[in-house]
Chains A and B, each alone.
Chain A
Amino acid sequence: MDRAEIVAVVQEFFKNEVDHADVVQDDTDLIEAGVLDSLLMVMLIGHCEERLDIELDPEDLTEDNFRSLSTIVDFISSQA
């Protein structure tokens, strides 16, 4: 799967579902900054699974993998 495609899908989620998504940089700590809570993480997981036609391993749905946009894209790339 193309990394650019994953980036686009993740950014689509942030644009549509996250307040003040425009201030989020690739390495912004999304949890520390209060951008992502557990409900949004679950919605993001569902969004990526649906849009990318993948199934993410629940064992790997860890805080570290959802720390920033970069780690999210790295994680999904490793699973796809």
Chain B
Amino acid sequence: MTGASPASRRSVLGLSHFIGETSEEFDWTLTLDVPADKKQILNNQRAESVTLFLTEEHGLPVEWIRHRPQGPLAEKRPKIRLGGDAVTVGVPDPEASGELLASLGFERSDSSWVLRSRLFRSLSLHLDRDPDESPRPKVDDRGLTSISLLVKDLDAVAKTLPLLAHQEFSLDGVTKEIAFFSGEGLLLEFLMVKRRSREGSR
């Protein structure tokens, strides 16, 4: 199911944004229902909805989320480190996920697996080994916990990976489609941007 696929490798355009869980009171801009298979990703079987708020950290977009009802949040160690033109994410065993990562366009570089953004070449995403990370990552920790990859064709990725929690929504007049992969110590969101609606808010 995770064999290398030229279609999915060609479809991933690069890092879109980070995903973080917070208990801060933002002016939440969007509420999404939680389908049954998303409860596992959120680590909250009682979750009924997720609220989203977009902000920037170090010039990079972050999508803060809060699921409701909200359980107690653990403080997350810095899983995601931002520095210069590189973003480093700790994962338990990137070597074990090598085939999957290669199918998404990551390349092995020393001890990391690296995704060089095709559209923003100056920014690279590094997955480094961190044995203290959970092999079954979930969103339910306070802090930056996951990454979202921008894709050209979500269907092409779905042919390679078993994607969960497929949802479509509109934000600021732009229709977006998202789906998640959770497994092999990785939690990834895939985002496809569709048309701006004519009655959009811009």
- Measuring CB to CB, which residues of chain A are less than 8 angstroms from any residue of chain B? 16-17, 19, 31, 38-39, 41-43, 45-47, 57-59, 61-64, 66
Chain A contacts for B121, CB-based, 8 A? 62-64
* Complex alpha-carbon distance, A45 and B194, angstroms: 10
Interface pair B194/A39, CB less than 8 Å apart = no
Size of the chain B interface, CB-CB below 8 angstroms: 20
Partner among A17, A31, A38, A59 whose Cβ is within 8 Å of the Cβ of B16: A38
How many A-B contacts if CB must be within 8 Å? 54
Quick one: closest B residue to A36, CB to CB? B119
Q: Which of B7-15, B22-30, B33-41, B87-95 forms contacts with chain A?
A: B7-15
- The reply to whether the CB of B193 lies closer than 8 angstroms to some CB of chain A is yes
Quick one: closest B residue to A60, CB to CB? B118
Chain A contacts for B117, CB-based, 8 A? 38
* Complex alpha-carbon distance, A63 and B121, angstroms: 6
The answer to whether A61 and B119 touch (CB under 8 A), given A39-B150, A42-B13, is: yes
A71 CB → nearest B CB, Å? 13
Partner among A16, A43, A64 whose Cβ is within 8 Å of the Cβ of B193: A43
Interface pair A43/B196, CB less than 8 Å apart = yes
Quick one: closest B residue to A13, CB to CB? B196
B107 CB → nearest A CB, Å? 14
* Complex alpha-carbon distance, A46 and B193, angstroms: 9
Chain A contacts for B194, CB-based, 8 A? 46
A6 CB → nearest B CB, Å? 19
The answer to whether A38 and B196 touch (CB under 8 A), given A17-B202, A61-B152, is: no
Quick one: closest A residue to B176, CB to CB? A39
Chain A contacts for B10, CB-based, 8 A? 57-59
Partner among B120, B152, B196 whose Cβ is within 8 Å of the Cβ of A45: B152
* Complex alpha-carbon distance, A61 and B13, angstroms: 8
Interface pair B195/A46, CB less than 8 Å apart = yes
> From residue 112 to 163 of chain B, which have CB atoms closer than 8 A to chain A?
117-122, 150, 152
- The reply to whether the CB of B86 lies closer than 8 angstroms to some CB of chain A is no
- The reply to whether the CB of B164 lies closer than 8 angstroms to some CB of chain A is no
